[in-house]
Structures are given as C-alpha cells and as structure tokens.
Amino acid sequence: MRRTSALTSTVGSSPHRPRLTLAIAAGAALALAACGTEKTGADGPQSKPADTAEVRPGAAFTAMLDKVAQSCPTSAPPEAPPTGPAQTPPPGSVETPPDMEPIAPTAGPEVELNAHDWCASALHEERIAQALWDLADPTPTRVRTILNDLGYVDERIHDLRQSGATTRFLLDLRDKGGRLCLEGSAAGENTVVDKCVAPATGPFTPGERKQ
C-alpha cells in the first residue's frame, strides 16, 4: 500500500504535465485560427456570386430590342421591287392609263428595310411616342431620361437638340444586319416618331439617314 501511494504521488507531481497541457492548448488555438481564416476567405467580400455580375449595357440594349420585336418575323433581306415586262391584264379588265400607273419606290424604308425592321419600327414608334406624350416640358435632358428608362442607351441616341418647344432626336436601332433608325420630335401631344434608314455598315451618321 505504501509503494502504491508513492507511485501515484510521483506521477501526479511530474514536471512534464504542464508542458503537455500548454502544447495541446496551443495546437487548438492554431486550429481555430486556421478555420477562421479559411471561412473569411470563402465568405469574404472578394468572393462574388456569379448571378450578381453586372449586365453590360450593350447586352441589355440587345435584349430590349429582342423583347420589343419578339412578335416580328426573323430578319431577312428586303424584297426588291418587281422588274421585267409588265404583265398583260386579262381580257375584259380596265387598263390603267400610262400616266396613272403607280411608281414603285426606289429608296427609303419601303425598299431598304427588311420585314423584321419594318415590323419592329412600328412597335418602337408606339412605345416611345406614348412615353413622350405626357411630357409637358420636353427638354433634351428629360427626353434622354425617358429614352434611357425605355432601354435606349446613350450610345444609340444621336442629334438630341431642342428647337423652341420641341426636342428632336435620332435613334440607331441597327441590329443583326438591319438598317432601322428612328427620327423623333418630342412636343407633348404633338410628338411624332417615324422610321428611317441608317447606313448598312459603319458608324451612325445622322446626315446619311433616309426617310
């Protein structure tokens, strides 16, 4: 019995026990610090979910064009006016005098806009005109704000200027090989928006448009 007590006393008072306890505590602290660092790196402000990435203005503009014209036919080259000899009218039909024959257009939207752009132009004209009709004081700044709210980016707004109580502007709506542009005059209830034809390629030049 005495020998057992002496052995227990010797183990309990071993000088290596405090050192072992400190080593274990230090290891636990390092492990916690490492976990904290790893969590901060994963959830910190530098990591950004993919769905929060900003949409480029060009992509948003193209998406707006697609949405407005979603009911229109796909883009296709404009149909050329009929050529060749005139067809002989059936017997008994009334022949139109030569000076009354309609003249087929050779330039302008009727010839140079494809079916998709012709359809889309009417939809753009309506939505823009409706947004500008209630504008009592159509200054260039206010007109630009409304056009921006509708999805028309500054890069596609041209020649925005005020003349008296009217603000005029041009919109470059060329997309997928089309040549559509719009010419508008914001004047309250007298607002007018009409289609025009832009150059097929190159930068948009207001002076080269065709009506």
Q: What is the pLDDT of residue 4?
A: 43
- Residue (of 208, 203, 3) closest to 107 by Cα position: 208
Give the pLDDT band (50/70/90) at residue 179: very high
Q: What is the pLDDT of residue 210?
A: 64
Give the pLDDT band (50/70/90) at residue 51: very low
* 179 vs 44, more confident: 179
Do 162 and 140 meet the contact criterion of CB atoms below 8 Å apart?
yes
Amino acid at 33: A
Do 75 and 178 meet the contact criterion of CB atoms below 8 Å apart?
yes
CA distance 87 to 80: 17
Cα separations in angstroms, 100 against 87, 95, 97, 151:
16, 10, 5, 45
Q: What is the pLDDT of residue 22?
A: 45
Q: What is the pLDDT of residue 206?
A: 73
Task: Supply the pTM of this predicted model.
Answer: 0.61
Give the pLDDT band (50/70/90) at residue 27: low
